[in-house]
Every structure is written in structure tokens, then in C-alpha cells.
């Protein structure tokens, strides 16, 4: 098999993932684009493992590591997305302009949120749970 087959396929997948990251508005779909890019890299690693006939299987083992790191990344990323949804009421990447967590920003968000009704997705906060994070 020509080495170009997997390499071109992974280049195309990487470009498609780039488009998803840049163009999608929903933050979950942006994460899907990241997954596509990671898979393109994995395909490269596996292809070069087969091409170089590596005895210690560096490419395949690294692919497994990348898959594990991607699982960690998607878990953390979705936790962040859910936290953003809980405090802003939407996960629209275009409208998420504030990185800060200051009170002024909170008030501005609260003013914006008077239109969109939203309730937290989490459970009730225990009354005695004091202390900041």
C-alpha cells in the first residue's frame, strides 16, 4: 500500500477538524473537531509504525497514549463546557467573550440572562458547604 494513502487521509481529516474548530459555534462541536484532528494524528502514527516496521511498536503505543490523553481531554473539556453552560446559560462560542470571572462580568451576564431562562443542571447546593474553590 502506498504510504500516501493514510497520510493524505489524515491530512484531509486534520483540515476538516480545523474547519470544525474555527467555524462551529457550539462548544461541544468544537471539541468534536479536536477529536477529528487527534484521530488524524493517530492515523499518521499507525501508518509510520507499519512503514518502519518498528520492533518496539513506538507508533502504536504512542497512538494508545494519544487515545488515553484524548479521553482525559474530552472529559475535562466537557466539564468546562458544562460549567460554562451553568454560569452563562449557553455555550455559543461567539458570545463567550469574557474570560474573567469578576463581579462586573457576573452582573453583565446576569443582565443578559434575564431574557434567557435557565436553571442549573447540577443538584442543589448543600447549605453548609462553605469555602471557596
Interaction with another protein in 29-48: which residues (CB under 8 A)? Answer: 29, 31-33, 35-36, 39, 42-43, 46-47
To the nearest whole angstrom, how small is the minimum distance from the Cβ of residue 89 to another protein?
10
To the nearest whole angstrom, how small is the minimum distance from the Cβ of residue 110 to another protein?
6
Window 59-118: residues binding another protein (CB under 8 A): 60-61, 63-65, 67-76, 78-83, 85-87, 91, 93-94, 103, 106, 110
Q: Which of 83, 94, 91, 93 is nearest to 120 (CA)?
A: 83
Query: Per rule CB under 8 A, is residue 22 in the interface with another protein?
Result: yes
Distance CA 112, CA 55 (A): 59
Which residues, 6 or more positions from 70, have their beta carbon under 8 angstroms from its beta carbon? Answer: 35, 38
Q: Which of 50, 39, 40 is nearest to 2 (CA)?
A: 50
Amino acid at each position: 500500500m502506498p504510504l500516501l494513502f493514510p497520510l493524505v487521509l489524515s491530512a484531509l481529516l486534520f483540515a476538516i477538524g480545523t474547519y470544525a474548530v474555527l467555524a462551529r459555534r457550539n462548544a461541544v462541536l468544537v471539541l468534536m473537531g479536536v477529536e477529528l484532528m487527534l484521530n488524524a494524528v493517530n492515523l499518521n502514527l499507525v501508518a509510520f509504525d507499519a512503514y518502519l516496521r518498528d520492533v518496539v511498536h513506538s507508533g502504536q503505543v504512542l497512538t494508545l497514549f494519544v487515545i488515553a490523553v484524548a479521553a482525559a481531554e474530552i472529559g475535562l473539556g466537557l466539564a468546562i463546557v458544562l460549567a460554562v453552560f451553568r454560569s452563562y446559560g449557553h455555550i455559543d462560542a461567539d458570545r463567550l467573550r469574557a474570560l474573567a470571572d469578576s463581579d462586573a462580568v457576573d452582573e453583565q451576564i446576569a443582565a443578559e440572562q434575564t431574557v434567557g431562562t435557565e436553571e442549573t443542571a447540577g443538584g442543589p447546593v448543600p447549605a453548609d458547604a462553605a469555602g471557596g474553590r
